[in-house]
Structure 1
Amino acid sequence: MRQTITNFLRGIASNWISKTGVLLVTTSFVMFSIFQLFTMLGLLTNAYIGLITYLGFPSIFILGLLIIPVGWWKYVHETGRSTRELLAEKFGPNELAPNPFGATLIRTIAILTVLNVTILGAASVRMLHFMESPEFCGTACHSVMGPEWATYQDSPHAHVKCVECHVGEGMGALIDSKINGTWQMISVTFKLYERPIPAPVHQLRPARETCEKCHWPSKFHGTRLKTYTRYQMDQNNTPKYTTLNLKVGSGESGQASGIHWHIASKNEVRYGAIDDRREEILWVEAKQPDGTFKRYDNRRYDPATPVNETRILDCIDCHNRATHIYELPEKAIDRRFSEGLLQRDLPFLKREALAAITRNYPDRNSGLEGIRNHLTGFFRQYSPMIIGERLGAIDSAITVVQNIYRRNIHPDMNVTWGSYPNHIGHETDLGCFRCHNMDMVDTDGDNVVNECTTCHSILSFQQDEPFAYLFPVKPGEREGDMHEYLLDEFLQSFKK
């Protein structure tokens, strides 16, 4: 059989075109097999190697298969002889002689055809599997997807594949993604993409198909206790605590309550956004028990203002940075203090780290070097002795601050602090206040509810203790009335 296939390949290699085709087919098959073996053994893991293995070699293989018949056609045309005559010249009588199972040449062609289809099928399956991996999404087009890849790896969804949210299930979703991916390849090739990548992504799969596979509205979350630690810009990097009892509640129709009240089916909420980023809301409508909708209009805008997009509120209207979460500089530094990566006993570290990472640098390398120079220069000037005594801690702090910068700032894609607003909460961006504000009023002039305690009880706000408001009010305490009100509200919230 081996000799038969060898004779067949020699026979069809009638001129330089066919020989080139045979060379491409055999070489690409051998290289694909070698690379696939190394990949299975874990020796090759780079996304670019994957592109070569699953896109490059199969493409060369197909190109070779197409070139071979072109070369044969050209050979027939140049010689002016029939295919039968040329076959008789290229192959011996034994290979052309008929038998019950077909001539040897026909069987060889059939076997090689089946083999080619099998190879291409296996390569296609492996290619699809490879293209569904997060590594492919994040590193194949590194210059474009670098910011998304950096934030993805440090996100709550780091173990969820990109395609589970961005593609979805089913053949239709797969085809749509490949069509969209073709345009993305063209955009990357000719640098037609925007910098930074605009958000929100309008072709993202619906939340009902993605988010609710793991997070379903009927699940009752109750309340969640959350303490936010903020460090002061003083010598001791003093911590201050804000503790909230978040009333997450449920979206279940029968017990819709709390923050997740918004996604209960009986409480359908829809809104009209003026801008593409969904930050400026013109009106909001909430479904009433009788099936009608109550409308609130934003009196800051002319009612005739055109609406850019009308949406039914779902998960991503609030959780718009569920995975690709870009930090703000102060919160990023506070987080590293809380995680123990930055040491509070380095004087004024919070202040100087913040100053170092918020400067404008022309590129990443300049930024990393600038951070090192700033912190080293400060501690050398503050106390020359500290450089010698705490050199290890200072170097560690510099590395941590550089990593904050490296994670969040991407000059090549014009991603800087605040490029992507986060609508969870309202501490740094508009978030909840896009709708819950004094300007959003109904026909009677009543505004959308916007009391602080509607969504969370406040147990401490920038205090020295995490649960400062749970202690009794001290005589003569400053803001004692607020303390007493918040304590009472928290206790009463559990009686509802």
Structure 2
Amino acid sequence: MFRKYRNFLRGISVNRIGQVGVTLTTTAFAGFLFFEFLRLIGVLDNAYIGLITYMLFPAMFVAGLALMPLAWYRYRKQRKKSTRELLIERFDGEDIREGFFGSRVFLVILVLTMVNVLFLAGAGFRTMKFMDEAKFCGTACHSVMGPEWTAYQQSPHSRVKCVECHVGQGVDAVVSAKLNGLRQMALAMLSDYERPIPTPVHQLRPSRETCERCHWPDKFYGNRMVTLTRYDMDRNSTARYTTLQLKIDTGHTAGRGGIHWHVASDNEVRYASVDDKREEILWVDWRQQDGTYKRFENTRLKSKVNEGDYTRIRTMDCVDCHNRVTHVYEDPETAVDDRITRGLVDRSLPFLKREMLAAISDDYPSDEAGLQGIRNHLFGFYRSLDAVQGARMSDQIENAVLVAQDIYKRNIHHHMRIDWNTYPNHLGHQHDGGCFRCHNPNMRDKEGNMIRNGCTLCHSILAYNEANRFQYLYEPDKKNPNYKMHLFLRDEFLNSEQGTLKTR
């Protein structure tokens, strides 16, 4: 059998083009099987090997198949003979003699064609599976996607494949995504891409098709208790607690709208922004029960509203607030607080919070300089504070250095021009963005009424930077200057809970 196949290859290798085609096809076929075998036994597990196996080899195989008929066509033109005459010259008489099922050459071509079809189908299936893997998305174009891959691996959605959100369901979505991916891969090879990657990503599938496959807004009920732990900049890094009762309801069960009222099926909120960043909102429309819209315009940006200086109208969905739900870049202070809370560093180190924050927040020229600068800063500070204590606690200091460096490596990527302020997170309102983009005194309707922005609109406050997690539930001290605020917040929480219980 092998001798017949070898004779057939010699017969179709009529010129240089045919020889190249045979070489490409045979090499790609053997290479694909060999690399796939190594993958199955666990020897190879690398995105770059996958690029060779599932993209290079199939491309070589198809190119080789295309060259073979081209070579035969040119050979016929050069010899000026019919196909039968050329077959007689290239093959033995036994090979071209017609039998009951055709000649041997015909049968070999038929068998090889079936093998080629099966091979291409299998390779195509494996290629699609490979391109759907998160490791391919994150590591195949490492220089571009390295920061996103790093953030993704430590996100709440690290077990959700990239394609679940970036591709979606259906043939149209897959074809569109793969064509766009080929374009992006070509741009990456030419180093012709923006740094940092611009957001929001316009190719992202609508949240109704992605987020709501797992997170159905109508099923968000009641409230959710959250305690945020922050640490002071003092010597002991004293813990302070903020406890919030988040009102996450859509409004169907509690009789009032909570945070997810904005995306409830009965409601529609649309808005226009100054630019694609969606950080400055020009106006907000809220659909009324009669189908009309009530508009709130940003009085601070009145000139731009009148000029119609906005990109496009957008209907509010999940990602308008949860814009960094997977590729989460941390705020430096929040990152340090989180590591202390999780017990990853020893809080007995003097001024731990202050010095870790100062070390990672400094302006370094490169990633390597940043890591070394963090080490120099922390060791230098503790040696200058108390050389004896610094030597005694060297292990704790070394651990603090490693944790601070890990924070830095996760969030700062100089080659992609990503720093602490590159990607703001709109969830909540820790800084000026988030909820306050719309819920601010500048957003007013024709009658001058503004969008509600009270502190207890979306959450009850049980403690705010207090030593006790539930400080405001205790009887307030009348001598305390914040007595009235404590009393109001306690009563608001109790009344809110009572109203929620009545609807259940």
TM class, shorter-length: over 0.9
The separation in 1 between residues aligned to 2:405 and 2:218, in whole angstroms, is: 42
| 2:185 matches 1:182 | no
In the other structure, the counterpart of 1:227 is 227
**Counterparts of 2:422 and 2:163 in 1: how far apart (Å)?**
24
Residue of structure 2 in register with 1:483 after alignment: 486
Structure-1-length-normalised TM-score: 0.97
Partners of 1:95 and 1:253 lie apart in 2 by: 80
Amino acid of the residue matched to residue 187 of structure 1?
Answer: L
Deviations 1:443-469 (A, max 9, x none): 111111110001000000111111111
Cα distance in 2 between the residues matched to 1:472 and 1:375: 43
Aligned equivalents of 1:191, 1:382: Cα separation in 2 = 47
Change (3 A) 1:325 1:438: same
Distance 2:12 2:405 in 1: 61
Give the C-alpha shift of residue 226 in structure 1.
Answer: 0.6
- 2:471 maps to 1:471: no
C-alpha separation in 2, matches of 1:308 and 1:429? 22
Gaps of 5+ in 1: none
| Corresponding position of 1:26 | 26
Residue of structure 1 equivalent to 2:283: 283
Q: What corresponds to 2:150 in structure 1?
A: 150
Corresponding position of 1:371:
374
Checking the alignment, whether the CA contact within 8 Å between 2:273 and 2:311 is kept in structure 1 is: yes
Q: Which deviates more from structure 2 when the two are superposed, residues 405-414 or residues 197-206? A: 197-206
> What is the rounded CA distance, in whole Å, between the counterparts of 2:369 and 2:139 in structure 1?
23
* Partner Cα separation in structure 2 for residue 70 and residue 202 of structure 1: 42
SS at match of 1:495: helix
**Which residue does 1:357 correspond to in 2?**
360
Distance 1:355 1:126 in 2: 48
Deviation at 1:253, TM superposition (A): 9.2
Q: Tell me the equivalent position of 1:345.
A: 348
What are the residue-to-residue correspondences of 1:45-444 with 2, within 5 Å? 45-250=45-250, 252=252, 257-302=257-302, 303-305=305-307, 306-444=309-447
Q: How many residues align?
A: 496
How far, CA to CA, are the matches of 1:29 and 1:255 in structure 2? 65
| Residue 3 (structure 1) aligns with | 3
Distance (Å, rounded) in 2 between the aligned partners of 1:251 and 1:368: 48
- Alpha-carbon contact 1:251-1:262 (below 8 Å) kept: no
CA distance in 2 between partners of 1:102 and 1:387 (Å): 89
Tell me the CA shift for residue 252 of structure 1. Answer: 4.7
Structure 2: which 5+ runs fail to align? 500-504
Shift of residue 267, structure 1, vs aligned partner: 2.0
Q: 2:79 & 2:385 partners in 1: Cα distance?
A: 89
Tell me the SS of whatever aligns to 1:301. Answer: helix
Q: Find the aligned partners of 1:179 and 1:146 in 2 and give their Cα distance.
A: 22
- Alignment partners' CA distance in 1, 2:220 and 2:364: 46
Secondary structure (helix, strand or coil) at the match of 2:300 reads: coil
Cα deviation, 1:196-227, whole Å, max 9, x if unaligned, reads: 11111122111110010000111033111111
Inter-CA distance 255–63: structure 2 relative to 1 (3 Å threshold) = farther
Give how far 1:71 is off: 2.7
Equivalent residues of 2:262, 2:316 under 8 A apart: yes
Name the CA distance, whole Å, in 2 between partners of 1:251 and 1:17. 71
TM-score by length of 2: 0.96
Is contact 1:253–1:265 with CA below 8 Å preserved after alignment? no
Aligned in 2, Cα 1:125/1:251: closer, same or farther, shift over 3 Å?
farther
Distance 1:414 1:247 in 2: 37
What percent identity do the matched residue pairs reach? 51
